[in-house]
């Protein structure tokens, strides 16, 4: 089992509009949707040429911890965790920056807690919110193991009204990554997609989610190196998702197959080939179902997903018993996040340095109406 996440987060902005005000304000909401649909129409007719992406946000080292908020409330997914404040996480050694610049977020692996008790963990979310863009995350390692539920995802206000995008998620010793969307009514995934549209297997087609039914529409990657132990042994890889008004696409690249345009910070999704997951706008109005998302990185334990699936996971005992024993979490739940110059990172890896790579997060290209919208990242 592995406890380190290593991550590079780039945020690239698209030529799509983002509200400067509250999305809930009727006039701005209508204006936003109008701009989005006009742009989608242009894209569909080919009259609008692709714009280069512009790097908007780049998180690394100490700034990674400073630029994200630490969520310390009750786990909304009912996990056996106590999410820590920034101060407590740092004081307890659950959040820190290594000398190599890797920011580490960890789960308590030294305390003994009662059966069915709670273990200290960390959940962070971006201070900024996003309504479109290209998001690139480079993970060197990721958490996995019995009772463990790690995720890299995003969601908007009034869940599920503003949607949820799960880029990297799984439980226990799951073999492949699961990529999902969760929405309000009116969004679905086509029952069939050709091999030229997505490389993963469709698990569920209905995206609508609620407290009673939270499956969502989802894909399961076919590559055993896309999650957990095998992902870590292979040196991790890059997850990139493109969110625009034509749909939401997710790519995954193994360590040895990361496109040069990503490492040079000049990403060109058109050259990346077929995505692992593809949620097209033909069966889901992206602009009205996804907006104002905060990025999230967290590790829960048991809870709605890992707890419910524990009896069929092949793990011993119960999920509550797994939580109680600290040794179950040693070398299991920890992730390091780091961003640095790609050339320097490659040079150091050539010197056999084993540590975390980078993390990048968003980009924006142009404004459509200066009075109503602004570029992500603009002040």
- The catalytic position among 69, 74, 87, 164 is 164
284 within 8 A of 187, measured Cβ to Cβ? yes
329 within 8 A of 117, measured Cβ to Cβ? no
186 within 8 A of 289, measured Cβ to Cβ? yes
41: phi then psi, degrees, rounded to nearest 5: -60, -40
Query: Which token pair is 236?
Result: 């991790």
Angle at CA 283, nearest 5°, toward 271 and 250?
30
C-alpha–C-alpha distance, residues 327 and 131, integer Å: 41
C-alpha–C-alpha distance, residues 181 and 355, integer Å: 31
Annotation marks residue 169 as catalytic: yes
How far is Cα of residue 310 from the mean position of the Cα atoms in its chain? 23
Give the number of other Cβ atoms within 10 Å of residue 170's Cβ: 26
Q: By CB neighbour count within 10 A (0-12 exposed, 13-18 middle, 19+ buried), where does 30 fall?
A: exposed
C-alpha–C-alpha distance, residues 183 and 164, integer Å: 7
Helices (H) and strands (E) in the chain, counts: 9, 22
185 within 8 A of 208, measured Cβ to Cβ? yes
Report which DSSP code applies to 332: T
In sign, the C-alpha dihedral spanning 269, 36, 169, 63 is positive
- List 126's β-bridge partners, or say none: 68
Q: Left (φ > 0), alpha (ψ -120 to 50) or beta: where does 326 sit?
A: alpha
- The catalytic position among 69, 169, 292, 321 is 169
Query: Which token pair is 125?
Result: 């979310």
Query: Which token pair is 300?
Result: 């829960």
Query: Which token pair is 20?
Result: 């400067």
C-alpha–C-alpha distance, residues 97 and 100, integer Å: 8
Report which DSSP code applies to 24: T
Q: Which residues are catalytic?
A: 164, 169
């Amino acid at each position: 089992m592995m406890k380190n996440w290593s991550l590079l987060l780039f945020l690239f902005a698209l030529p799509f509009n983002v509200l400067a005000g509250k999305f809930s304000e009727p006039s701005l909401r209508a204006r936003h949707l109008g701009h989005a649909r006009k742009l989608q129409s242009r894209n569909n007719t080919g009259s609008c040429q692709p714009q280069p992406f512009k790097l908007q946000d780049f998180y690394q080292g100490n700034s990674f911890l400073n630029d994200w908020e630490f969520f310390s409330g009750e786990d909304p997914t009912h996990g056996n965790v106590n999410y820590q404040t920034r101060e407590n996480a740092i004081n307890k050694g659950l959040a820190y920056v290594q000398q190599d610049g890797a920011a580490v977020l960890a789960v308590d692996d030294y305390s003994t807690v009662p059966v069915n008790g709670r273990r200290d963990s960390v959940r962070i979310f971006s201070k900024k919110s996003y309504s479109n863009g290209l998001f690139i995350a480079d993970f060197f390692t990721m958490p996995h193991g019995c009772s463990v539920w790690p995720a890299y995802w995003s969601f908007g206000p009034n869940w599920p009204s503003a949607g949820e995008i799960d880029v990297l998620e799984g439980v226990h010793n799951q073999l492949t990554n699961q990529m999902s969307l969760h929405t309000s009514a009116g969004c679905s995934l086509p029952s069939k997609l050709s091999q030229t549209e997505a490389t993963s297997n469709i698990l569920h087609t209905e995206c609508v989610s609620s407290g009673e039914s939270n499956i969502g529409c989802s894909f399961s990657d076919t590559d055993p190196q896309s999650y957990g132990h095998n992902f870590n042994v292979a040196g991790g890889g890059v997850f990139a998702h493109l969110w625009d008004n034509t749909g939401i696409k997710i790519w995954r690249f193994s360590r040895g197959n990361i496109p040069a345009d990503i490492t040079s910070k000049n990403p060109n999704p058109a050259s990346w080939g077929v995505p692992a997951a593809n949620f097209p706008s033909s069966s889901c109005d992206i602009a009205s179902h996804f907006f104002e998302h905060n990025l999230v990185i967290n590790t829960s334990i048991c809870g709605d997903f890992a707890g419910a699936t524990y009896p069929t996971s092949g793990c011993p005992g119960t999920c509550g018993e797994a939580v109680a024993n600290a040794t179950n979490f040693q070398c299991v739940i920890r992730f390091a996040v780091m961003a640095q110059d790609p050339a320097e990172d490659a040079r150091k890896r050539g010197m056999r340095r084993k540590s975390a790579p980078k993390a990048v997060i968003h980009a924006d290209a142009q404004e459509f109406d200066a009075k109503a919208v602004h570029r992500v990242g603009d002040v």
